[in-house]
Amino acid sequence: MKTNSYTKRNKRKLKGFTLLEMVIVLGIIGLIIGGAIGVMGKVGEGAAIQRVKGDFNSLGSVLKMYKINNGFYPSTAQGLKALVTRPGGTPAPKSWTALADKVPLDPWGQEYTYKFPGSKVATEFELVTKGKDGQLGTEDDMSSQD
């Protein structure tokens, strides 16, 4: 008799989850995923800003190398393309070498704007990103001279 009642209790335990329990678990999983997606969106924007700062530093190093090789920075008209292909016009580089394979894009897929002289420090270059909206002169623009 003991084995029969023992077997019935074990069978009851092995039946599984009820529909209500499954709905509750799926609801909790949905809330967790929804919260994670919301947090990831905010983290993604912070990562984009950090990438812009990193690009400003690396492009700044390459532009300084260009100046060491040639005695001056590229003009605004020559732009960042002077790092990839030999620029025409003035000032003509004396000992030009390709310092980059391609001009990097900002995290939003736009080209960085290059200015020399810069708008705040006239003796230095300035790199500007148009930001998420893709338009110059708006609140989300970032400058290497800020």
CA distance 16 to 19: 10
Task: Give the pLDDT confidence score for residue 99 in this predicted structure.
Answer: 92
Task: Give the pLDDT confidence score for residue 4 in this predicted structure.
Answer: 60
> Is 5 among the domain residues?
no
> Is 4 among the domain residues?
no
Is the pLDDT at 60 greater than 90? The verdict is: yes
> Is 127 among the domain residues?
yes
| Residue 129 parent element (H or E) | strand 126-129
- Please choose, from the candidates 62, 61, 68, the residue with its C-alpha nearest in 3D space to the C-alpha of residue 84: 62
What is the CATH classification number for the domain harbouring 113?
3.30.700.10
Residue type, 127: L
Cα maximum dimension of the chain: 103
Tally of helices (H runs) and strands (E runs) in the chain: 2, 3
Phi, psi dihedrals of residue 59, rounded to the nearest 5°: -65, -35
Mean of the per-residue pLDDT values for the chain?
Answer: 86
The pLDDT tens digits for 17-34 are 788 888 888 889 888 888
Half-sphere exposure of 37 (CA within 13 A, CB side): 6
Number of separate domains in the chain: 1
> Is 13 among the domain residues?
no
| Residue 128 parent element (H or E) | strand 126-129
> Is 73 among the domain residues?
yes
Is the pLDDT at 12 greater than 60? The verdict is: no
**Residue range 133-137: mean pLDDT, rounded:** 90
> Is 6 among the domain residues?
no
> Is 85 among the domain residues?
yes
Domain coverage including residue 88:
18-143
Residues 6+ apart with CB under 8 A from 39: none
**Residue range 90-115: mean pLDDT, rounded:** 92
Coil vs helix vs strand at 143: strand
> Is 102 among the domain residues?
yes
Output Rg (C-alpha) for the chain, integer angstroms: 29
